[in-house]
Structure 1
Amino acid sequence: MCLCIFSISLAAQQIKYSDGNDSWNPNLLGNHRVVVEFTGKDNVAKTTIEWRRRDENPELKKIIVQDANGKEVLNTKTENINRENGTIYFEPVSGKGKYYVYYMPYIDEGDANYPKGVYAKPESKADAAWLSKIKKNLKDNCTVKEIQSVNAFNSFYPMEVIATAAETKDIIAKNSDNSFLVFPEDRLYSIRMKNDLPQRWIQKGVQNSFADTAMKGEYLAFQLGVYALENLSNVKVQFSDLKNESGAVISAKNINCINTDGTRYDASNFAATVSVSKGKVQAMWCGIDVPETAAAGTYTGKATVVADGKSKEITLQIKVTNEVTKNGGIDSPEKMTRLKWLNSTLAQENTVIAPYTPLEIKGSEISLLGRKLILGSDGFPAQIQTFFTPEMTVIGTKANDILTAPIAFHFVDGAGKESLQWKNTGLKFLKKEAGTVAWESVSTSKSLQMDVNASIEFDGFVHYTVKITALEDATFNDINFHLPMQSSSAKYMMGLGQKGGNRPENFDWKWDVAHKSQDGAWIGNVNSGLQFSLRDEKYSRPLNTNFYLQKPLLLPTSWGNDNKGGITITPNQKSVLVNAYSGARTVKKGDVLYYNFNLLITPFHALNTDFQWNTKFYHKYSPIDTIAKTGATVINIHHANAINPYINYPFIEFKKMKSYIDEAHEKGLKVKIYNTVREVSNKAYETFALRSLGHEIYSPGKGGGFSWLQEHVGDDYIAAWFVPEIKDAAIVNSGMNRWHNYYVEGMNWLTQNVGIDGIYLDDVAFDRITMKRIKRVLTKDGHPGIIDLHSANQYNKSDGFNNSANLYMEHFPYINKLWFGEYFDYEKNQPDFFLTEVSGIPFGLMGEMLQDGGNPWRGMVYGMTNRMPWSHNADPRPIWKLWDTFGIKGSEMIGYWSENCPVKTNNEKVLATVYKKNGSTLISIASWADTDVKVKLSIDWKKLGIDPSKATITAPEVANFQPAQTFTTKDELPVSKGKGWLLIVK
């Protein structure tokens, strides 16, 4: 960004605004200074600076004066400091010449990545003798030369240089018969202030027209700044057709205002009501989608701002040149051309994504990849089956029943018995598509009607809307939901405050949305399971990753029932019953309750073990040749580096990124980048356009954080991740909104134009709709579209005590690899925790370890290593080398969790997983015993296909893992605490 030197004409002087080119340290002096020149003769310099500041209460901020050599002037005094101007006296210690007045000094306190810019308070260091020399009638003896910002990005000019109170009063007086004024503004000058008019508008005066130039095919953005002279509600912008001198037309349908109209992230219509309080400014961002076929010429039409029955017409004069732009001008985001992306419907059609297969319907049975849903006449699942083998490497033919009885709601009377008799209309299919099947059923009783609308998608996501309408007044002791599961499909549990692992014998849970991000759980086995989540019609996705408490779940009116609701899980001889109860309630005739719920049928697909062995991540921006020598095959580019500097906004250095990726491709490596939705860099060109949308894109909050945010965004935001080296300060996104449309379009652009091979997700703040769209654009035209997901352990107060795998399970169908993650303990947790919370295996995924390099012995039982060069104490290259030497690609992985595993030990705390090939086998052994132990192997040689009389067992040398050693089939193996072996049997 370039800041030219500008002049502003004031009553007494000309002030230039210029770029300080990072010539001082802002963490001591602040981001702004005034350059003054002392021309007097006395020992007291006086300057009155008309700085026109947007910050409130400037008199509460310290003033620092330095001479031209950077030496602080201690003898200073301030007078009449206000937002419009201020007077500073100082001792001209270096005589005539240049001095610097720093007027917003601050110190960054707090965590380096979550700083708190604290502005220094006024203090007096002047001695009494010097102060006594200040004459009351002393005139200014300094010339204000210029106002500098530490760099161009920090400049207040021109849109944050305020109009004075007198100027504002004057323009209001001249337009007293209006309820509002409209100031058309160029797209290059984002309207930033809500509480002040910019001086720029005073100088231009009230305008009735707007003119700009566009190329054919360009999206031409512009602003209409609405200044309210009285409270306004329902502000809208209406457009006429644009016509040129030859009669050619750009239809009004090609023009819109993003503040009020558009398309939501889920392809539904977006409509917002904009209100503006008296004395406030509202930017209305508009865009003209100029057709590529438009004839050259100047087009004229009207934009009419309407509010409360009053209107203001602005004449639009758009010159369309003969030049045709590429990509709608998308390659020039500084011109706000990508605001068009906010209303994108790209990749919305629910087409089947590989490796999934189209849904098939036979009667009431719906088949999908490796699974089957059988519906009852009431619309609820009568049975759910999976067909995955215990090894999870193939889809078999034997059905694994998940349910012991149909899923059902029960309306219980005071005696604890079912109180209603139901009749249903039967199952009616509403949609039969490859990607989605939808159905409905209506059940009625004397007192209630139950409308069931549901759908299943090709990946195993099942959504139920259950609408209960009271046909008469009724009282129930309980309304509950029964999910009766086969014990074989309910071995493990994760969620509802339960750490992933073996399912507890009995379980009792209550709603606590204020503190806990918990509305469901996963219960299952390695090859069959269900995740359920309980919601109502008001569900709104909460914030995550440190921000849950700032936007928690809403307690469902139905399930929560004023905190009377909860969940119990109890086993009996026949099944494991999940009972979601909502407690006693009375309904009046006409009352409506929504008992909505979602199901995810797991696993999503078989394990792709060869992808695991072939995909070796290097997780750092380094020279390509350096990475190639390590044996890594995929490079993950985080943010805060030369080619991807700004968090979740990878568009500014895209040329450098493309050059790097092109070189990697030439040398046989793939490159993925960090990019997600949760927070977005303040370097985003569209920051203030997004701010104009209220809380749609940015979450409300207390503000604060890094100085730039406080000085330019002002208030009402949540400060997020900060990178001090490049001053990248992010702002937290709100929930599901049109920024997700932008995100999908951005990923498509990066794939098609920059050549990225996928994305690295660092936690996820969007839902499965956006994830499917992302996967489609990443894999379009044969691109690999690799997605790996990292999560720090979410089971903590700030994240609402949810489990990462449970929180993100809806995304697992489209993830290629997990990386869980920071704050996961690989030493103290038991195998059932590894299996459910870390490995991804029960969901058809494989993963890697992070915290402290993980435990390589335990990791290999699940096919996991860590990443280069993340942990210096656990370099994965020796294990990678063993994979290649053994030839692990193409082997069959048979985990300890499978009854078919051909190798076991005689110690239940020492587990073995087999990687089987023709004629040879790799056995991974890991110990969870409390001490060093010795174990004997129990080997089913027939299953291995190896003659025991000819078998050799060797432990090849693996650096930092094990020494070379040979064993016989009868030997006891010494296994150190927390360690293990990799053995090759031939």
Structure 2
Amino acid sequence: MLRVPAAPVVWAHLEWRRRDSRPETKDIRLYDAATGERIRNVVRLTVTREFCDLLLQPKTAPGEVYVYYLPYDPPGTGPFGEGGPYFPPEDTADPAWRAKLGDSSAYPRAKVLRIEARSEFHRMDPMEVIATEEETKALLGRHPDDYLLFPEDRRHPIRMFEDLPYCWIERGPGGDFAGEAQPGEFYALQVGVFAARRPIEDLAVRFADLTGAGGTIPASAFTCLNLAGTDWLGRPLTRTCPVGVGKVRPLWIGVQVPPDAKGDYTGTFTIQPPGLAPTEVALRLTIGGPVLADAGDSDLWRMSRLRWLNSTLGIDEEVIPPFTPLQTKGAAVRCLNREVAFGGTGLPDRISSNGLGVLAAPMQLTVESAGKPLRWKPGRTRTTKATDATVERVTTATAEGLTLTVASKMEFDGCVSFTATLKPDREVDLDNLHLRLPLNRAVAEYMMGFGKRGGYRPSEWHWQWDVDKANHMAWFGNADAGVQLKLIPDSDAWQVSDLRESGLPASWCNEGQGGCNVTEEGDQVTVDAYTGPRTLKAGEPLDFRFRLLITPFKPLDPRHWEWRYGDPNGDGTILHIHQSAPQNPYINYPFLTVPELRATVEAVQAARGRRVDLGKLTYPAEGCLNPARGSLHVWARVNFDPTAGAPQQARFNQGLFSLNLPNEDSLGFYWNIDDRGMRTYVRRGAPALNQYPVLFGTHQPDWREGDRHLLTLSWGERLAIYIDGKLAGEAPFSGTVTSPLGGATLNFAGAGFALGAIKITDVPYVEGESVAPSADEHTLLLDTFSGWDGGERTRPERGTPGVLSGVCERRDSALAFSYREIEGPPKGVNIYYTVRELSNYVAEMWALRSLGDEVFRTGGVSIYTDPDVPPAGGYAWLREHLVAGYEPAWRTALWNGELDAAISQQGLSRWHNYYVEGLRWIMGATGVDGLYLDGIGYDREIMKRVAKVMARTDPGYRINFHSGDNWSPPWDRLREASP
């Protein structure tokens, strides 16, 4: 923002210190602060990342001018598409004005008042305000070290990898780090490593004890998240941390403060790249205040949740209901409703599910050499692990110079994983290798996978490996029994569309010769995974990995009959909070709206019981109504307050009559709050289609509760509403519904009207005609309820009896409908929360970025080592703050007009540890008891942890799963079965 003097031409010098590359390719737009009018007489003299010089002709002088840089064309509110291009430089100056300009020093200078961001979230200062080249050179001149360290507070995450922030120039490198922590807190800090003169291959950090009057914080309480940790399977993880010359890389360090610590603690830690001198950093922590029982997790700014990256929560041997502990008897292992009996080679001889035999014969691994199959001689079987959750076995067998070792792992949910290792004593030429799964034909009724859409199993199917399709598995079975076979690549990776990350398995694929045939003969279906010919070299083992899933995993949860997704104040029992909902607006990051989530859960749990036993009267339409011509007369008493409510409050609508057809065509007649009068409509198809060829309302402002009226709906050449014999509204429309009335019903319902009598005729009504509740030659249905004895059926004077249901009673000679409110089943809340992409509003963004490609996909570049990193695309915020080394995912509009722009995550990473902890935390903090997965961004190991954590937090938990059908757009190109 500038203040300009009273002059026809003003020089503005802006030291904006911009991070974006090539600012000269982007427009600069100036506006008069007083009028909002754009200033067009502007000349760009110099535009660099460090500063710009402009000449301008103010419109209000003296006055103030807004200078907008990085202006862009905002994208639409859809989830995909162009992220919003920056406007290119635009020459708007009057040529005559421009021609008169002289040297900039001749003009009075504008004063820069301040540089503002669109919002707090868009701010660049202090960590994205660049140092100039001269300032950086001067810093290097004062500090001849190969690398420089810049300790930094957690409140100022290090964001830039390509520049030093100006605040570091002011402060200088090195020095002590002082921070304030609370007892029990996981305290986070960071150190920026600047590779000043030479590249750094890796970094190491050595911690020492912190000592103080209150005792010692041991070195073991420290961790550097960038260098070591625990992966998603609970295995130790180490990572290299290189830094390219001229680059800046943050190291995030955490220390677990003991709950009894108090006062000042001092010590050091040392950072050392290999081959370079170590640098010591002095650390002082002042500890005080209340104990943080949650280590600080309730305050996102503390960054204490970074320790969740190393969590092992849920990695244990617990068996959660309804699953049961594994039982072993000889070579058989039993899990919930299923059993596997292992044979002499370590493969299943028998598989049963719900008492049905899945296998028609034992499963076999057959090796063919010299034109014949080799015969395995079974060796020893060892049980290497046996718990309630897991049974692991190793079996060996030999055959003519080959040793076969089959390692199996059966888990409590019916998953059986195998690694079959072939090791030759000498060089062996193989004609082929077959893994044959002989299935009971009666069980293998359906098939899904190996490139086939789910459905009936064909008598023959052939499949081969394709690196562009992750369809290397298939399920065979029916509702009572079945099995999935998955052929597993050589390395573990979560791949849902292709196999490029893991590559095709050398064992199974065998340079494109491998595949799988499914054939049927008699009562047996054989699944034959083959490899083709190959040569095995002496002493070189070859692993074949595969997995069986024995289905069904568990009985259907009987509670699902009570799950109704919708308004908990109505019939809904489960509220689904989707991504972008007000309580959950940020993509896969629900931690920024915890109060809103908690309030919603509390409101759902406090919702009144749902309405049940709603009174209703139903007649068959066929024979009781002519849809082409006729009229309906209802003698009714008003049982509601017509003055209550306000427009668009649909709960005040009062039902009366509807004709409903099996194809969901409908004719309706009811009182509408927007009209404050009777309304009618004809609908074609389901309500969601919103197809109403005719709909109109009338106005009865003088109605009062207790009034009695004759309500008439007439149809023929026009559709009309009459009140007490007088025309209230009409529309040109021929007849009503056009489909046959077979199976259609006439329905009278709603507590708003008490019915004195119903009459339906086959002639349209004529205004002013007298209508009596008695039958004549045109009457199709007449029911005055005079003969009703309180039973389930009425006794009409003409027509088919009506069927009463729910709460119905006689009040003052009229039939009145009511309802009973009873306590419904427990109500819950499901939340959209998964792993696949992550909001750019994530509080830990910069710490996660410091991990390189561990958590986020980087587009194949390393921002910390590659000398020239091309800028990435997507929404403007991503381009301005992340700059490079990310992959845009999708975006969603927020309530404040901003966009949440997510970026893609890796298939498996330590973020999954964070995710599991986050699920536990959000359930505990808000009361959410259900999870909605819109696609799954993790493997079965994470899913087991998710289920365990949810079960421990709330035994009544739910997991709902949704996935795209790969034979429907936009996923149809993939043609895969979900792993």
With the shorter chain as reference, the TM-score category is 0.7 to 0.9
The answer on whether the counterparts of 2:10 and 2:57 sit within 8 Å (CA) in structure 1 is yes
* 1:584 and 2:533 matched: yes
The answer on whether the counterparts of 1:48 and 1:140 sit within 8 Å (CA) in structure 2 is no
Which segments of 5 or more consecutive residues in structure 2 lack a partner in the other structure?
608-825, 860-870
1:616 and 1:101 map into 2 onto residues whose CA distance is 54
Q: Which amino acid aligns with 1:691?
A: R
The answer on whether the counterparts of 1:379 and 1:426 sit within 8 Å (CA) in structure 2 is no
Shift of 1:447: 3.6
Q: What TM-score does the superposition give when structure 2 sets the normalisation length?
A: 0.74
Higher relative contact order (CA 8 A, sep 6+): 2
1:94 and 1:137 map into 2 onto residues whose CA distance is 20
After TM superposition, list the pairs within 5 Å mapping 1:247-286 onto structure 2.
248-286=215-253
Aligned residue among 250, 266, 287 for 1:320: 287
The SS at the match of 1:655 is helix
Aligned residue among 417, 439, 462 for 1:463: 417
Shift of 1:329: 0.8
* 1:556 and 2:505 matched: yes
* 1:201 and 2:141 matched: no
Higher helix share: 1
After TM superposition, list the pairs within 5 Å mapping 1:721-800 onto structure 2.
721-725=890-894, 726-795=898-967, 799=971
Which residue matches 1:305? 271
1:559 and 1:95 map into 2 onto residues whose CA distance is 78
* 1:174 and 2:108 matched: no
Aligned residue among 821, 834, 854 for 1:696: 854
The answer on whether the counterparts of 1:496 and 1:802 sit within 8 Å (CA) in structure 2 is no
Which residue matches 2:524? 575
Aligned residue among 427, 430, 440 for 2:381: 427
Which residue matches 1:904? none
After TM superposition, list the pairs within 5 Å mapping 1:370-449 onto structure 2.
370-387=337-354, 399-413=355-369, 415=371, 417-418=372-373, 420-449=374-403
Which residue matches 2:882? 713
Question: Is the alpha carbon distance of 1:297 and 1:492 closer, same or farther for their aligned partners in structure 2, counting shifts above 3 Å?
Answer: same
1:600 and 1:101 map into 2 onto residues whose CA distance is 63
The answer on whether the counterparts of 2:467 and 2:499 sit within 8 Å (CA) in structure 1 is no
1:552 and 1:316 map into 2 onto residues whose CA distance is 42
The answer on whether the counterparts of 1:549 and 1:798 sit within 8 Å (CA) in structure 2 is no
Shift of 1:40: 4.8
Shift of 1:334: 1.6
2:26 and 2:498 map into 1 onto residues whose CA distance is 32
1:152 and 1:757 map into 2 onto residues whose CA distance is 33
* 1:613 and 2:561 matched: yes
Which residue matches 1:67? 32
2:954 and 2:90 map into 1 onto residues whose CA distance is 65
Question: Is the alpha carbon distance of 1:703 and 1:111 closer, same or farther for their aligned partners in structure 2, counting shifts above 3 Å?
Answer: farther
Q: Which amino acid aligns with 1:807?
A: S
Which residue matches 2:586? 646
Which residue matches 2:308? 341
1:149 and 1:573 map into 2 onto residues whose CA distance is 74
Shift of 1:153: 0.2
1:62 and 1:147 map into 2 onto residues whose CA distance is 17
Which segments of 5 or more consecutive residues in structure 1 lack a partner in the other structure?
1-34, 388-398, 619-626, 809-986
1:207 and 1:256 map into 2 onto residues whose CA distance is 20
1:800 and 1:470 map into 2 onto residues whose CA distance is 43
Aligned residue among 42, 50, 58 for 2:23: 58
The answer on whether the counterparts of 1:378 and 1:426 sit within 8 Å (CA) in structure 2 is no
Q: Which amino acid aligns with 2:550?
A: I
Q: Which amino acid aligns with 2:542?
A: L
Q: Which amino acid aligns with 2:978?
A: L
2:217 and 2:978 map into 1 onto residues whose CA distance is 47
2:494 and 2:194 map into 1 onto residues whose CA distance is 34
The answer on whether the counterparts of 2:313 and 2:916 sit within 8 Å (CA) in structure 1 is yes
The answer on whether the counterparts of 2:345 and 2:376 sit within 8 Å (CA) in structure 1 is no
Which residue matches 2:476? 523
Aligned residue among 165, 176, 181 for 2:133: 165
2:299 and 2:553 map into 1 onto residues whose CA distance is 40
The SS at the match of 1:328 is coil
2:949 and 2:443 map into 1 onto residues whose CA distance is 35
Shift of 1:682: 1.0
* 1:103 and 2:69 matched: yes
Q: Which amino acid aligns with 1:566?
A: G
1:372 and 1:679 map into 2 onto residues whose CA distance is 39
The SS at the match of 1:508 is strand
2:970 and 2:369 map into 1 onto residues whose CA distance is 40
The alignment covers a number of residue pairs equal to 742
2:385 and 2:516 map into 1 onto residues whose CA distance is 33
Question: Is the alpha carbon distance of 1:783 and 1:659 closer, same or farther for their aligned partners in structure 2, counting shifts above 3 Å?
Answer: farther
* 1:148 and 2:116 matched: yes
Q: Which amino acid aligns with 2:435?
A: F
The answer on whether the counterparts of 2:230 and 2:236 sit within 8 Å (CA) in structure 1 is yes
Which residue matches 1:77? 43
The answer on whether the counterparts of 1:238 and 1:303 sit within 8 Å (CA) in structure 2 is yes
Shift of 1:80: 2.1
CA RMSD in angstroms comes to: 1.9
Which residue matches 1:637? 577
Q: Which amino acid aligns with 1:510?
A: Q
The answer on whether the counterparts of 2:467 and 2:500 sit within 8 Å (CA) in structure 1 is no
The answer on whether the counterparts of 2:489 and 2:503 sit within 8 Å (CA) in structure 1 is no
The answer on whether the counterparts of 1:517 and 1:799 sit within 8 Å (CA) in structure 2 is no
1:220 and 1:140 map into 2 onto residues whose CA distance is 51
Q: Which stretch of structure 1 is more off in the superposition, 205-214 or 89-98?
A: 89-98
Aligned residue among 438, 445, 462 for 1:484: 438
* 1:220 and 2:392 matched: no
Identity across aligned pairs (percent)? 36
2:975 and 2:923 map into 1 onto residues whose CA distance is 31
The answer on whether the counterparts of 1:517 and 1:553 sit within 8 Å (CA) in structure 2 is no
The answer on whether the counterparts of 1:64 and 1:105 sit within 8 Å (CA) in structure 2 is yes
1:723 and 1:781 map into 2 onto residues whose CA distance is 30
The SS at the match of 1:651 is helix
The answer on whether the counterparts of 1:508 and 1:569 sit within 8 Å (CA) in structure 2 is yes
The answer on whether the counterparts of 1:513 and 1:553 sit within 8 Å (CA) in structure 2 is no
The answer on whether the counterparts of 1:539 and 1:554 sit within 8 Å (CA) in structure 2 is no
Q: Deviations over 1:99-123 (max 9, x none)?
A: 1111101124477212422111112
Aligned residue among 459, 465, 489 for 1:536: 489
Question: Is the alpha carbon distance of 1:460 and 1:492 closer, same or farther for their aligned partners in structure 2, counting shifts above 3 Å?
Answer: same
Which residue matches 1:852? none
The SS at the match of 1:711 is helix
Which residue matches 1:925? none
1:385 and 1:253 map into 2 onto residues whose CA distance is 50
Question: Is the alpha carbon distance of 1:37 and 1:369 closer, same or farther for their aligned partners in structure 2, counting shifts above 3 Å?
Answer: same
Which residue matches 2:822? none
Q: Which amino acid aligns with 1:688?
A: W
Q: Deviations over 1:489-546 (max 9, x none)?
A: 21111112111001111111111122x121111111221111111113313112x4xx
Q: Which amino acid aligns with 2:420?
A: V
Question: Is the alpha carbon distance of 1:497 and 1:320 closer, same or farther for their aligned partners in structure 2, counting shifts above 3 Å?
Answer: same
The SS at the match of 2:116 is strand
The answer on whether the counterparts of 2:186 and 2:256 sit within 8 Å (CA) in structure 1 is yes
Which residue matches 1:938? none
Q: What TM-score does the superposition give when structure 1 sets the normalisation length?
A: 0.73
The SS at the match of 1:130 is helix
The SS at the match of 1:488 is coil
Q: Which stretch of structure 1 is more off in the superposition, 661-670 or 189-198?
A: 661-670
Which residue matches 2:11? 46
Q: Deviations over 1:843-896 (max 9, x none)?
A: xxxxxxxxxxxxxxxxxxxxxxxxxxxxxxxxxxxxxxxxxxxxxxxxxxxxxx
